[in-house]
């Protein structure tokens, strides 16, 4: 027949299949074992039958009652095992039922065995769970967990498991493995046992970081680990622009500002084994920094809004706005935003803002932040004549060919205001050129506002009779 097998060790007559599976694979010397029955039956048995069939720590026996049977060890690959073939054959990794058996038919079943670990299967976060395994005189023990959900400690047959983080229950339940390594002074082997997917961890109250505020000044802000299990220790850490003032491990712990910017405080909490890295606690350090945003271009006789976007948790309490150069324009400060009315065209206006918060002393502000805007003369429409006395003609002049003019025909709302803001005329017009009567207007300056509902254009009109 064709074997699904791979030779991974050279042939040898110094050990057999039982010797490899039950002794050599655990680090022991090369030996023959006639039958492994004493390992799992009788008063001195060290293994129990396992229902968890596939893991690298399992021993496997096929038909041990027939001609000594055959032994193998399992692997982490489902249905594949490792065994010594024959008294003088090689070490082979193979499909579980592909091996040179004795008898008329191949075996179609196998029995799995594992080191016994006894105890309950649930622990709370911060709680302890006592487990036991084989009690071998003068043996050394090493207990462990996955160091995420649980950790293990202990150097005797009695191990202590500590809950670190709750195991999920949705969309499916996850349990965490417990492992123990036992080094025997008699056989010079280290046998390994586990309870795969065995321990669940539950808790309604996880450790977390809290603070007296999210803003950290040079005077310092205090942070605390809530729900810290008794006996656990703390290892604090922090991000840029912060320094720790309290002793490492203090609870609460004070940090102070060394610069301006976004930062964080974090901690690892340590039980007797392992540790949990807590979620970072985001903060702002020092004076506020802004990111000024707004339009990058516009037209005279229009008002544009600019925003001073502060860093998270910087908590500004006051803002200052400047337009450079100011010329004949007007800046209206509304705190975190400003409206600027432009009356002069200029390429490269600087819209500048800064802010202060509780970290700023008297007369102290955060750094300036700016954005730029280019302001153009309005060239969407042309008024003629200007100055005028009887009529004015308004012409859409941006399109450059007949097709563009045809496509640009729309409805426009046209209003005329005096310099006091009083509306003197209002009408709906269409087309790319239209005429307005102005003979009844007094001499003076006026503003003509034209909009299609999307763009507003404002032009200066002079009336002179």
Is there a single domain that holds both residue 307 and residue 339? yes
Is there a single domain that holds both residue 432 and residue 370? no
Is there a single domain that holds both residue 387 and residue 451? yes
Please list, in sequence order, all residues whose beta carbon lies within 8 angstroms of the beta carbon of residue 99, skipping any fewer than 6 positions away: 5, 62, 70, 72, 83, 85, 92
In this predicted model, what pLDDT tens digit does every residue of 79-135 receive, in sequence order? Answer: 899 999 988 999 999 988 887 765 555 666 788 888 888 888 888 888 889 999 988
Is there a single domain that holds both residue 388 and residue 372? no
Higher pLDDT, 136 or 373: 373
Question: Does residue 415 sit in helix, strand or coil?
Answer: strand
Is there a single domain that holds both residue 9 and residue 111? yes
Q: What is the pTM of this model?
A: 0.66
Domain CATH code at residue 157: 2.60.40
Q: How far apart are CA 189 and CA 394, in angstroms?
A: 100
Query: Is there a contact between 26 and 189 (Cβ–Cβ < 8 Å)?
Result: yes
Query: Is there a contact between 50 and 71 (Cβ–Cβ < 8 Å)?
Result: no
Domain CATH code at residue 303: 2.60.40.10
pLDDT reading at 215 higher than 70:
yes
Q: How far apart are CA 304 and CA 342, in angstroms?
A: 8
Give yes or no for a cis peptide into 387 (omega within 30° of 0): yes
Question: Does residue 206 sit in helix, strand or coil?
Answer: coil
Is there a single domain that holds both residue 33 and residue 107? yes
Q: What is the rounded average pLDDT of the residues 245-263?
A: 97
Domain boundary among 115, 146, 176: 115
pLDDT-based confidence at residue 68 (cuts at 50, 70, 90): low
In this predicted model, what pLDDT tens digit does every residue of 299-344 receive, in sequence order? Answer: 888 889 999 999 999 999 999 999 999 999 999 999 999 999 998 8
pLDDT reading at 357 higher than 80:
yes
345 to 224, 303, 447, 455: CA distances (angstroms): 56, 13, 16, 18
Q: What is the rounded average pLDDT of the residues 445-459?
A: 83
Question: Does residue 202 sit in helix, strand or coil?
Answer: strand
Domain boundary among 285, 302, 329: 285
Is there a single domain that holds both residue 108 and residue 34? yes
Is there a single domain that holds both residue 198 and residue 239? no
pLDDT reading at 373 higher than 90:
yes
Q: How far apart are CA 147 and CA 206, in angstroms?
A: 16
Domain boundary among 241, 257, 285: 285
Is there a single domain that holds both residue 111 and residue 10? yes
Domain CATH code at residue 243: 2.60.40.1080
Number of domains in the chain: 5
- Of 22-36, 71-85, 255-269, give the range with the top mean pLDDT: 255-269
Query: Is there a contact between 324 and 372 (Cβ–Cβ < 8 Å)?
Result: no
Is there a single domain that holds both residue 321 and residue 245? no
Q: What are the DSSP calls for 322-388, one per residue?
A: EEES-TT-EEEE-SSEEEEEE-S-EEEEEEEEEEE-TT--TT-----EEEEEEEE---SEEEESSSB
The region of weakest confidence among 61-70, 129-138, 364-373 is 61-70
Is there a single domain that holds both residue 448 and residue 388? yes
| Backbone dihedral angles phi then psi of residue 18, each to the nearest 5 degrees | -70, -40
Is there a single domain that holds both residue 26 and residue 103? yes
Where in the sequence is the domain holding 279, given as residue range(s)? Answer: 208-285
Domain CATH code at residue 399: 2.60.40.3080
Closest CA to 203 of 120, 124, 123: 124
For residue 327, the Cα-to-chain-centroid distance in whole angstroms is 48
Q: How far apart are CA 396 and CA 409, in angstroms?
A: 9
Q: What are the DSSP calls for 421-447, one per residue?
A: S-EEEEEEEESSEEEEE-TTSPSEEEE
Query: Mean pLDDT across the chain, nearest whole number?
Result: 88
pLDDT for res 439: 94
């Amino acid at each position: 027949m064709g074997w699904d097998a791979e030779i991974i060790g050279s042939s040898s007559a110094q050990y057999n299949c039982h010797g490899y599976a039950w002794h050599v694979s655990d680090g022991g010397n090369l030996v023959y074992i006639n039958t492994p029955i004493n390992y799992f039956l009788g008063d001195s048995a060290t293994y129990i039958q396992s229902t968890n069939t596939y893991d690298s720590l399992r021993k496997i026996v096929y038909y041990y009652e027939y001609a000594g049977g055959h032994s193998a060890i399992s692997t982490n690959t489902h249905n594949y095992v490792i065994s010594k073939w024959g008294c003088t054959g090689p070490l082979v990794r193979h499909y579980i039922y592909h091996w040179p058996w004795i008898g008329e038919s191949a075996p179609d079943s196998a029995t799995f065995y594992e080191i016994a670990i006894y105890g309950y299967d649930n622990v709370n976060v911060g709680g302890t769970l006592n487990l036991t395994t084989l009690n071998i005189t003068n043996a050394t023990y090493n207990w462990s967990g996955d160091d995420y959900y649980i950790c293990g400690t202990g150097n005797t047959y009695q191990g202590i498991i500590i809950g670190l983080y709750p195991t999920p229950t949705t969309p499916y339940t996850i349990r965490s493995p417990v492992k123990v390594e036992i080094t025997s002074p008699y056989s010079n082997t280290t046998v390994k046992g586990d309870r795969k997917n065995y321990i669940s961890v539950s808790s309604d109250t996880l450790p977390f970081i809290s603070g007296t505020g999210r803003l950290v000044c040079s005077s310092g802000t205090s942070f605390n680990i809530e729900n810290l299990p008794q006996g656990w220790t703390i290892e604090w850490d922090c991000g840029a622009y912060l320094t720790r003032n309290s002793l490492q491990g203090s609870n609460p712990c004070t940090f102070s500002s060394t610069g301006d910017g976004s930062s964080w405080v974090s901690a690892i909490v340590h039980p007797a084994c392992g540790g949990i890295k807590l979620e970072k606690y985001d903060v702002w350090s020092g004076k506020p920094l802004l990111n000024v945003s707004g339009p990058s271009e516009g037209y005279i006789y229009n008002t544009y809004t600019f925003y001073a976007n502060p860093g998270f948790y910087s908590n500004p309490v006051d803002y200052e706005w400047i337009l450079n150069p100011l010329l004949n324009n007007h800046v209206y400060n509304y705190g975190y935003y400003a409206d600027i009315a432009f009356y002069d065209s200029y390429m490269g206006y600087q819209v500048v803002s800064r802010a202060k918060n509780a970290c700023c002393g008297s007369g102290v502000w955060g750094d300036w932040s700016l954005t730029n805007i280019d302001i153009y003369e309005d060239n969407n429409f042309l008024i003629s004549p200007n100055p005028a006395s009887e009529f004015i003609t308004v012409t859409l002049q941006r399109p450059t060919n007949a097709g563009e003019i045809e496509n640009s025909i729309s409805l426009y709302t046209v209003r005329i205001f005096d310099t006091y803001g009083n509306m003197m005329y209002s009408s709906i017009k269409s087309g790319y050129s239209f005429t307005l009567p102005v003979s009844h207007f007094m001499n003076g300056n006026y503003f003509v506002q034209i909009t299609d509902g999307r763009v507003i254009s404002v032009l200066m009109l002079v009336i002179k009779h």
